[in-house]
């Protein structure tokens, strides 16, 4: 599968390759997609917590909430 890559995106890919952190453009794109998936998971978790709070839930201590978010990233 092949897609045209806009010049600004290609510059970002090239910068990541030049940093030495990634060996191929595919590795850069995989890492970007993983980060996007993690961000979406975090957004969903935060939205669920906000929805519970708005529904009158007593809530979760902040430390417990952060611990839960950290576990989600593992």
74 pLDDT more than 90: no
Axis crossing angle, helix 25-54 with helix 7-19, rounded to the nearest 10: 100
Give 31-36 contacts, CB < 8 A, sequence gap 24+: none
**How large is the average pLDDT for residues 20-48?**
97
Structure tokens at 66: 């952060």
52 pLDDT more than 80: yes
| Cα atoms in the 13 Å half-sphere on the side-chain side of 5 | 13
Phi (first) and psi of residue 7, to 5 degrees = -55, -40
| Domains of the chain: total | 1
Any domain includes 28: yes
Give this prediction's pTM.
Answer: 0.66
Any domain includes 2: no
Mean pLDDT of all residues belonging to the chain? 92
CB-based contact 34:65 (threshold 8 Å): no
Structural domain range at position 30: 7-73
Any domain includes 1: no
């Amino acid at each position: 599968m092949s897609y045209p890559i806009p010049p600004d995106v290609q510059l970002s890919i090239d910068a990541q390759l030049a940093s030495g952190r990634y060996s191929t453009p595919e590795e850069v794109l995989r890492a970007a997609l993983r980060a996007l998936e993690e961000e979406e998971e975090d957004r969903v978790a935060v939205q669920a917590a906000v929805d519970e709070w708005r529904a009158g839930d007593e809530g979760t201590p902040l430390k417990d909430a952060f611990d839960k978010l950290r576990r989600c990233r593992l």
